[in-house]
Amino acid sequence: MLVLVAPGQGAQTPGFLAPWLELPGAADQLAEYSAAAGLDLARYGTKADADEIRDTKVAQPLLVAAGLLTATALNAAPAAVAGHSVGEITAAALAGVLDPTDAMTFVAARGRAMADAAAVTETGMSAVLGGDPDAVVAHLAGLGLTPANINGGGQIVAAGTMEQLAALAADKPEGTRVMPLKVAGAFHTAHMAPAVATLEALAPRLSVADPRLPYVSNADGQTVDTGAEVVRRLVAQVSNPVRWDLCMETFKQRGVTAIIEVAPGGTLVGLAKRALPGVRTLALKRPDDLEAARALIADVSEPAEDRAE
């Protein structure tokens, strides 16, 4: 059983889209996404520096466009889809809930609204690596921080004001390392409430369909059956924690045997390697990875008795 997953903000690197745009039709596809987002995504994905693509208004549409572009190149039929944070919009498009144009319109509005919300107060995020998860969450609460991403695999991302994050750096939970993240605000916390209001106003203008395949939600790791509920969750997750740990638990319960992460892949397969031993993983980083991805899909699609022969 194959799950296709899409990464969240921070996965982008300068120039990562350049080799993908050499594929037939890719440049035209990206031009359509750029028009919907109101951004020159080809330039941002090929020529922009790290600071430019760190900008929330740029990073989020760039990531969704990259995910859709590389999923098109792969042309797989997964048994389920999921995305981390903004990657949920990619997953919603892959599941047929949103068409690509609406997905790009939505993510562009999301990026702008979250950037505006982040500008109100100086906030940020730090990854807490290791330690007992319950103890880490309790420690963060004591400092006034939100566990914005509970990612599994020994990783929890704390979010809050810069003063709160400085207190965390000075007073780490037992047995942990703390790594500041290069993001522009405290995403998935109450600091993002203004962005929720913006997206609530946009949502009724989207064309929404029910998912064509299981869509695993960040809210609670459960599959969602209706398009209306997927969109409601996409709006709400801007100010609510990402429970990627629960998504991976659902993968395990559903008997997932392989995970492929669309570009710019790497983060989510890294978490899966730690949390889901025995599940085969592959990250789409360059077009050269497509052949290996197709071979993996063919292998996990074969009946067990055929593979044994």
- What token pair was written down for 83? 């995305």
pLDDT of amino acid 303: 61
Strands 155-161 and 123-130, how do they pair?
antiparallel
What is the CATH number for 154?
3.30.70.250
Same domain, 115 and 128: no
Q: What pLDDT does 301 receive?
A: 80
All residues at 6 or more sequence positions from 149 whose CB lies less than 8 Å from its CB, including other chains: 84, 85, 125, 155, 156, 157, 188, 241, 242, 244
Selected catalytic residue, list 85, 126, 217, 239: 85
Q: Does the pLDDT value for residue 308 go beyond 80?
A: no
- 150 near 188, Cβ under 8 Å? no
Q: Both 107 and 215 in a single domain? A: yes
Q: Are residues 158 and 210 in the same domain?
A: no
Do residues 128 and 46 share a domain? no
In percent, how much of the chain has pLDDT > 90?
Answer: 95
Residue 305 pLDDT exceeds 50: no
Match 């290996």 to its residue by tokens.
292
Residues 295 and 151 occupy one common structural domain: no
Q: Are residues 172 and 291 part of one domain? A: no
Amino acid of residue 96: G
- Are 128 and 268 members of one domain? no
In this model, does residue 139 exceed pLDDT 50?
yes
The mean pLDDT value of the chain amounts to 95
Rounded Cα distance, 180 and 69, in Å: 30
> Residue 111 above 90 pLDDT?
yes
Residue 65 and residue 129 in one domain: no
What is the tens place of the pLDDT at every residue in 1-13?
Answer: 999 999 999 899 9
Q: Which of 180, 199, 219 represents a domain boundary (last residue)? A: 180
Task: Output the CA torsion sign for 89, 95, 96, 97.
Answer: negative
pLDDT for 302? 65
Which amino acid appears at position 295 of this protein?
A
What's the domain count of the chain? 2
Is 139 known to be catalytic? no
Q: What is the mean pLDDT of residues 50-55?
A: 94
Task: Identify the active-site residue in 84, 126, 139, 188.
Answer: 188
Q: What is the mean pLDDT of residues 86-101?
A: 98
* Residues near 25 by beta carbon (within 8 Å), at least 6 away in sequence: none
pLDDT in tens, 233-281: 999 999 999 999 999 999 999 999 999 999 999 999 999 999 999 999 9
Cis, peptide link before residue 264, omega less than 30° from 0: yes
How many whole angstroms separate alpha carbon 128 and alpha carbon 304?
39
pTM: 0.94
Judgement on whether residues 104 and 238 belong to the same structural domain of the protein: yes
Is the pLDDT confidence value at 227 over 70?
Answer: yes
Same structural domain, 75 and 12: yes
Same domain, 226 and 203: yes
Active site residue 34: no
CATH classification of the domain holding 251: 3.40.366.10
Residue 84 belongs to domain spanning: 2-119+189-308
Q: What are the CA-CA distances from residue 165 to residues 146, 160, 162, 186, 214 (Å)? A: 10, 7, 5, 10, 37
What are the pLDDT digits (tens) for 192-206? 999 999 999 999 999
Q: Is residue 84 predicted with pLDDT exceeding 80? A: yes
Q: Are residue 210 and residue 270 in the same domain, yes or no?
A: yes
From residue 199, alpha-carbon distances to 25, 195, 260, 275 in Å are 31, 6, 29, 33
